[in-house]
Structure 1
């Protein structure tokens, strides 16, 4: 993407700043996704001893993977 922006005349410092902003936003989304998963996916497994199995863990991980940005 940076190469395409540069090719149409966008200055490198502007591209770099835009990239930094996107990285910050992505990190924020990742943190929020982890908080959500901890509260709503893993918490139910910790509260239910019968779900503390390999199958339960696999389901939780798959649910979290689906939430990943």
Structure 2
């Protein structure tokens, strides 16, 4: 099942469990992960902040097929 609107796509798995979200950086909404802004950022700076957040939260950062965290 997919939900699609301008700039954002939600991808759902079994029993309507959210499996992923794709957001267009040019048209999509502002998105934050805690205090880290994820849209309209220099990718290296956003990645550094995501890595820092993961260390503080004792979490693991994994990357997708293109290397994005």
TM-score (normalised: structure 2): 0.29
Q: Greater CA radius of gyration, 1 or 2? A: 1
Q: Which has the higher contact order (CA 8 A, sep 6+)?
A: 1
Q: Higher strand fraction: Structure 1 or Structure 2? A: 2
